[in-house]
Structure 1
Amino acid sequence: MKTGREKQLVAGILAHVDAGKTTLSESMLYLSGRIRKLGRVDHRNAFLDTYELERARGITIFSKQAVFSWENIEIILLDTPGHVDFSAEMERTLQVLDYAVLVISGPDGVQGHTVTLWRLLKRYQIPTFIFVNKMDQAGTGRESILKELKKRLGEECVDFGEASAREDRSSEWFEELALCGEELLEEYLGTGQIEKSSVAEAVYSRKIFPCYFGSALYTDGVEELLEGMREYAKSKAYPSDFGAKVYKIARDEQGIRLTYLKVTGGILKVKDILPDIEEKVNQIRIYSGSKYETVQEVAAGGVCAVTGPEHTYPGQGIGAEEGLDMFVLEPVLTYQIQLPPGCDVHSMLQNLKQLEEEDPQLHIVWEEQLGEIHAKLMGEVQTEVLKNIIKERFGVSVEFGAGDIVYKETIEGFAEGVGHFEPLRHYAEVHLLLEAGERGAGVQFASDCSEDMLDRNWQRLILTHLEEKEHRGVLTGAGITDIKVTLIAGRAHLKHTEGGDFRQATYRAVRQGLKRAKSILLEPYYEFRLEVPGENIGRAISDIQKMYGDFEPPELEDGMSVLTGTVPVSTMRGYQTELLSYTGGRGRLFCSLKGYEACHNAEEIIDMKGYDSETDLENPTGSVFCAHGAGFVVKWNQVEEYMHVESPLKVSLPEEERHSYEPASSSASRIELTEEELDAIYRKTPDPIRRMADSRPITVKAPERGKYDAKREEYLLVDGYNIIFAWEELKALAEINLESARDKLMDILCNYQGYKKCILILVFDAYKVAENPGEVQKYHNINVVYTKEAETADQYIEKTVRNMDRKYDVTVATSDALEQVIIMGQGAQRLSAKGLKEEIELMLKEIRSEYLGRPAEDRNYLFDYMTDELAKEMESVRLGKSGNFENILKTDRKRV
């Protein structure tokens, strides 16, 4: 998308719900000539309310894009949700904005969510214009509102509506601008005025926030706002190296996956391969409302939606652009998703994961112990919207259970965590330092381990494993936060260590460290502003105290008593209704999420949750060691007695502090593990999770197996085409000749079967071949199956596993997530495509090491089998002293 305009801006419109944000967008589009008729939210015909539920409810649920021109600038307008329940969608949009327009309702003033938006704009350093809307309503004094803006948002809020429009700008206006920065003050003192370019630079650097007043419904003041953006907004300069920032994932009416992004460097063209993720751009769309036009390229500064990529996610940086992993706003409530009778839970999990792609903060999880699907949401309105989306998209009517608070856990002080994983033919040990971090810092990871002790590649792998999942605390099983985790030591084995071993050791080290540390339960807190009539202030103070809140001494503002402070979310829920009741409708409550603090009733919550960290099989606290060829589990409080690497902390700590790292005196019983059980631990661990891929894997526990029988035959079923298109070298070969890729996979698996001695069945889809009866071939030492018409490889494998009726040890190699869930439910074990490749590479390493390690006496040397005379003549020939080699050879043959 190229433009001949002097400026191109990406501007977002933000507001508290019902401030008139969508109406302002409508007015801007109308005045620019982009639309011919003004739509209205209450008439359900607004240009940017494209979703039926948005029109029915009169609120914005999804961010929208519109493109229009004003004079010499092109504005890409992004309309964002105003309701607090959809604020995560709004925050994701902030990543790509050049400027923001913050809309404030004149009658309501600066509300609680408005303050949250203001803080977010400061965090993302977005230059901001302010538009005070609904000035046509009674009780909206320009001076009083501007005074409130300066008090609540900052003295840098300056009225640009009338003063900047006059040619003879008043000296008072210039003086107000001069107070916003030293450079502006020097210019004013030197010349008696301030140039537009200087004002534009101050707006860009967030030293001035231009304020405009009007009524969007009647387009009053909107033209002044557009003129202000034309005069005082600057176009960004972008680098030539390609970069892009993903801010949204969606699907169109045909179900095609759309990646919304802003190009932040270079040019994006159709059929380009996106760097890092190596996926092709099939189509570039420029949306305006519900309609779009396709273009061949988009230059830096442009915003578009692309089709093709399947593994993008909001916040992702592509090319030269850095990504954003952690957002400020997050849900504080978790709900159970209740499915109707007869609904397939596994299929529904896959469907919900699709929604999680679009809104990662839904955090869809399968609670295995409860047998329930849970989602994290902002509030009741979002649950209603989500129910409609699920019904509309998947045809399933779901309900939501009562919302529960999302708790988190952290630690006090510091502790060392040790994880060891050493079943037969595997080895890894990891030492982590867990330190308490600042509130709101999240979980941070670092390495402080010498490369002489542990190779850099292993260290990077450990950091990857730390980042790939949400680690659970040991008090209630809630996610951990505000902790710094540092790798301080580790050990690998030259022959037996592979990536999955460090995954297990890392997870166990985190859990063991949490068990040793003093854990603290955290709960979300609101920052509130409570306005009540003077006669009700005593009741308000009493209520806040009962809710375990803290507050500043009350202040008197415009005849109302004002309380500000913090209070737990759990105790404040539902208070708005009570407030309106006892104040006769005159009281006002503004809340914004402050963050997580220590839980006010931690013991009660811990008892209610009833979480036992020792029975959480998915998150073990102990380690696996090996002795006399057998593996055994050591409990968390005995790991230090068995670990192989000396603790770096013990060496550095003073003598009086070392006692805190001594193992407990009570002896833990050793639990012997069979080879099958150790293999199950290793195989059931999910493959490393890429952030660019779908969200966390679905965890479905397979039914318990019977007692291990060493005589049972082992079967390996391989989904052929799934493996071919999952392995890069086979995929590349398949693009040239699919039959060659099949043959190569068959040869690889023949070698593997010869080493593993299992019964190997390779299954290929042939269901699209008309009247195909199916075929089974014997290829050397493996069985190759071509499925019959209308039968996929998945169906054949599922049927075969079910027919085996758990009489055999069955493993299925596939990376199809749904197929993995199904086969585990049938009692089989799963092996991903990547896991199979690692197994084969390990086999080749072991074969190679065995060959290279054979004793020297096993080798055959030519001279060992010659006669003495022939050996002497061969040596003479080698040295060039004799040419009589043929005669001696004839003589030697006659002797033989």
Structure 2
Amino acid sequence: TADGSFHPLYHGSALGGQGVAELVEGLLGLVPATTPDTSGGTSGGTSGGTEPHGTVFAVRPGPGGERTAYLRLYGGEVHPRRRLTFLRRQADGRTTEVSGRVTRLDVVGGDATLTAGNIAALTVPGGLRVGDRLGGPTDRAPQFAPPTLQTLVRARHPEQAAPLRSALLALADQDPLLHARPAASGATALLLYGEVQMEVLAATLAEDFGIEAEFTPGRVRFLERPAGTGEAAEEMPWLDRTRYFATIGLRVEPGPRGSGGAFGYETELGALPRAFHQAVEETVHATLMTGLTGAAVTDYRVTLVRSGFSSPLSTAADFRGLTPLVLRRALARAGTVLHEPYQAFEAEVPADTLAAVTALLASLGADFTGTTGGDPAWFVTGELPARRVREAELRLPGLTRGEAVWSSRPCEDRPLKPGNSGPGKGVGGHSGE
């Protein structure tokens, strides 16, 4: 368990409490004690020449809206009033920074300083989320596949719309597998991993917050990636009968797989006031949440290649208004490729049903990676478009007399094959559970 080569598997029910005692016993007996790291990090820290590094594993909201984060420290030390920088991985793959000074530090055990191997409750202005990492990326950081399901949630009673949004954002801070953002018409857009997660969320909203929520049917989440490089620029233009006192040139190009989105500069340092730079960067990431086909754009790099302003006429609003127009033109010139999520599946089927099962999976677009066994059953593995997995799950029992064993998990997405439907064209949802 220490090096990850062995993974204990437990069965139980959180609702009824079955299996909890066995899980606790396994944690105590199988998980090795942590040895404080005194060599990691970079020089310049407080103790032992190391910068502190650790992970936020829980968040609890306070009565005044202040959130208390629970930090497990793996190396270095944390003192009260120390300024810390946490790394947060966003839903689109980008890594952002959350910085602030520790305003409260309660170390388990009563010490004034948090040391390696220990836990503390702390408060940092701006708020922390579960999964935020203190220090640079390490192999301790959990790796989750991107969510494959998207839905919209609204309050059944209009007067609960604002409390619903606040509750969802609070839950997103506590759950790294829940991604929420405001959407049009007062709804909240959610990225999820399956229908079961949606059902649990609805029950949590009703029981803990007293809010009745309605979810739209889950839909598979598509993504766009730049196909090439494109540039566009405008200099103090009149567009749509609006004068923008801003000059912006942007280049869009593909980024490394899994990088999310990145923004950079090729303009001279200080060519724009900081507020204008920030306006361009924030607007770039917000604009690319919707690409050429309506899906979010990911794994991109956008570079500011030209900039200018007119003092005192230019404002940040000019740059926020012009950036989407230039960016859309550059993205269109670069082109995008639409990708859909795939699921890796494993199926154990009776020997006499192999032909029928493989024919079904092939008709659903499966790519097979292995077929082994034969007596008394065949073991079939492969990858299948996520939007077709639910259909396979529903039809498999009829083909195998209910004797099949099926499991699937998210894997890498692939370019959408010609002739298949994309976003907003009636693609059905998938449970993923």
TM-score by length of 1: 0.39
- Please list, as runs of the form range in 1=range in 2, the aligned pairs for 1:689-728 lying within 5 A after superposition: none
**Aligned residue type for 2:262:** Q
Q: For 2:124 and 2:206, locate their aligned partners in 1 and report how far apart those are by CA, in whole Å.
A: 26
Contact 1:316 1:322 (C-alpha < 8 Å) held by counterparts? no
1:350 aligns with 2:161: no
- Cα deviations by residue, 1:211-252 (Å, 9 ceiling, x for unpaired): xxxxx68979x86x57xx47xx86522454453444345226
Change (3 A) 1:366 1:549: same
Q: For 1:280 and 1:416, locate their aligned partners in 2 and report how far apart those are by CA, in whole Å.
A: 43
Alpha-carbon RMSD: 4.2
Paired residue secondary structure (2:38): coil
Structure 1 residue aligned with 2:73, among 260, 263, 266?
Answer: 263
Change (3 A) 1:20 1:247: same
The equivalent residue for 2:103 is 281
How far 1:572 sits from its partner (Å)? 0.8
Q: For 2:201 and 2:217, locate their aligned partners in 1 and report how far apart those are by CA, in whole Å.
A: 15
The equivalent residue for 2:414 is 597
Contact 2:346 2:406 (C-alpha < 8 Å) held by counterparts? yes
The equivalent residue for 1:56 is 16
Contact 1:421 1:505 (C-alpha < 8 Å) held by counterparts? no
Contact 2:230 2:253 (C-alpha < 8 Å) held by counterparts? yes
Structure 2 residue aligned with 1:237, among 17, 34, 38?
Answer: 38
Paired residue secondary structure (1:284): strand
Q: For 2:260 and 2:378, locate their aligned partners in 1 and report how far apart those are by CA, in whole Å.
A: 36
How far 1:591 sits from its partner (Å)? 1.7
Change (3 A) 1:417 1:311: farther
How far 1:396 sits from its partner (Å)? 1.3
**Aligned residue type for 1:257:** R
- Cα deviations by residue, 1:328-384 (Å, 9 ceiling, x for unpaired): 42221122324223433233222322222223553323332x553332221122122
Paired residue secondary structure (1:605): coil
- Please list, as runs of the form range in 1=range in 2, the aligned pairs for 1:460-859 lying within 5 A after superposition: 461=278, 464-465=281-282, 469=286, 471-552=288-369, 554-556=371-373, 559-600=376-417, 604-606=421-423, 608=425
- Cα deviations by residue, 1:545-602 (Å, 9 ceiling, x for unpaired): 2111212353337653233222110011153343244323442223221122122466
- Cα deviations by residue, 1:793-832 (Å, 9 ceiling, x for unpaired): xxxxxxxxxxxxxxxxxxxxxxxxxxxxxxxxxxxxxxxx
- Cα deviations by residue, 1:396-421 (Å, 9 ceiling, x for unpaired): 12232321111212232222233566
The equivalent residue for 1:436 is 254
Paired residue secondary structure (2:217): coil
Q: For 2:270 and 2:311, locate their aligned partners in 1 and report how far apart those are by CA, in whole Å.
A: 13
Q: State, as a whole percentage, how many aligned pairs show the same letter.
A: 22
How far 1:55 sits from its partner (Å)? 4.0
The equivalent residue for 1:720 is none
Change (3 A) 1:483 1:309: closer
How far 1:463 sits from its partner (Å)? 7.1
Gaps of 5+ in 2: 86-98, 428-433
Paired residue secondary structure (1:571): helix
Contact 1:476 1:609 (C-alpha < 8 Å) held by counterparts? no
Q: For 1:434 and 1:580, locate their aligned partners in 2 and report how far apart those are by CA, in whole Å.
A: 48
- Please list, as runs of the form range in 1=range in 2, the aligned pairs for 1:28-67 lying within 5 A after superposition: 54-56=14-16, 58=18
How far 1:527 sits from its partner (Å)? 1.8
Paired residue secondary structure (1:296): coil
Contact 2:59 2:130 (C-alpha < 8 Å) held by counterparts? no
The equivalent residue for 1:768 is none
Contact 2:284 2:327 (C-alpha < 8 Å) held by counterparts? no
The equivalent residue for 1:867 is none
Contact 1:431 1:487 (C-alpha < 8 Å) held by counterparts? yes
**Aligned residue type for 1:418:** A
Structure 2 residue aligned with 1:322, among 129, 136, 148?
Answer: 136
Higher helix content, 1 or 2:
1
Higher strand content, 1 or 2:
2
**Aligned residue type for 1:367:** A
The equivalent residue for 1:366 is 182
Contact 1:409 1:478 (C-alpha < 8 Å) held by counterparts? yes
Gaps of 5+ in 1: 1-8, 22-40, 43-53, 61-78, 80-215, 287-292, 611-896
How far 1:268 sits from its partner (Å)? 2.3
- Cα deviations by residue, 1:421-461 (Å, 9 ceiling, x for unpaired): 657996322222222345544323333x2428946958964
The equivalent residue for 1:20 is 10
- Cα deviations by residue, 1:477-519 (Å, 9 ceiling, x for unpaired): 2210132323333333354444444343333332222233333
The equivalent residue for 1:414 is 229
TM-score by length of 2: 0.75
Q: For 2:236 and 2:210, locate their aligned partners in 1 and report how far apart those are by CA, in whole Å.
A: 45
Q: For 2:126 and 2:3, locate their aligned partners in 1 and report how far apart those are by CA, in whole Å.
A: 27
- The count of residues paired between Structure 1 and Structure 2 equals 400
Contact 2:101 2:124 (C-alpha < 8 Å) held by counterparts? yes
Change (3 A) 1:283 1:378: same
Contact 1:461 1:502 (C-alpha < 8 Å) held by counterparts? no
**Aligned residue type for 1:56:** G
How far 1:542 sits from its partner (Å)? 1.0
Change (3 A) 1:302 1:409: same
Contact 2:226 2:335 (C-alpha < 8 Å) held by counterparts? yes
Change (3 A) 1:474 1:299: closer
**Aligned residue type for 1:489:** R
Structure with the greater relative contact order (CA < 8 A, sep ≥ 6): 1 or 2?
A: 2
How far 1:299 sits from its partner (Å)? 0.5
The equivalent residue for 1:32 is none
Q: For 2:310 and 2:377, locate their aligned partners in 1 and report how far apart those are by CA, in whole Å.
A: 71
Q: For 1:590 and 1:567, locate their aligned partners in 2 and report how far apart those are by CA, in whole Å.
A: 12
Contact 2:360 2:392 (C-alpha < 8 Å) held by counterparts? no
Paired residue secondary structure (2:421): helix
Structure (1 or 2) with the larger CA radius of gyration: 1
How far 1:526 sits from its partner (Å)? 0.9
Contact 1:427 1:497 (C-alpha < 8 Å) held by counterparts? yes
Structure 2 residue aligned with 1:313, among 129, 140, 156?
Answer: 129
Structure 2 residue aligned with 1:297, among 113, 116, 119?
Answer: 113
Change (3 A) 1:514 1:338: same
Paired residue secondary structure (2:200): helix
Change (3 A) 1:295 1:393: farther
Q: For 1:354 and 1:420, locate their aligned partners in 2 and report how far apart those are by CA, in whole Å.
A: 42
Change (3 A) 1:441 1:433: same
1:272 aligns with 2:81: yes
Structure 2 residue aligned with 1:337, among 135, 139, 153?
Answer: 153
The equivalent residue for 2:430 is none
Paired residue secondary structure (1:364): strand
Change (3 A) 1:265 1:234: closer
Contact 2:103 2:123 (C-alpha < 8 Å) held by counterparts? yes
1:389 aligns with 2:193: no
Change (3 A) 1:602 1:217: same
**Aligned residue type for 2:128:** T
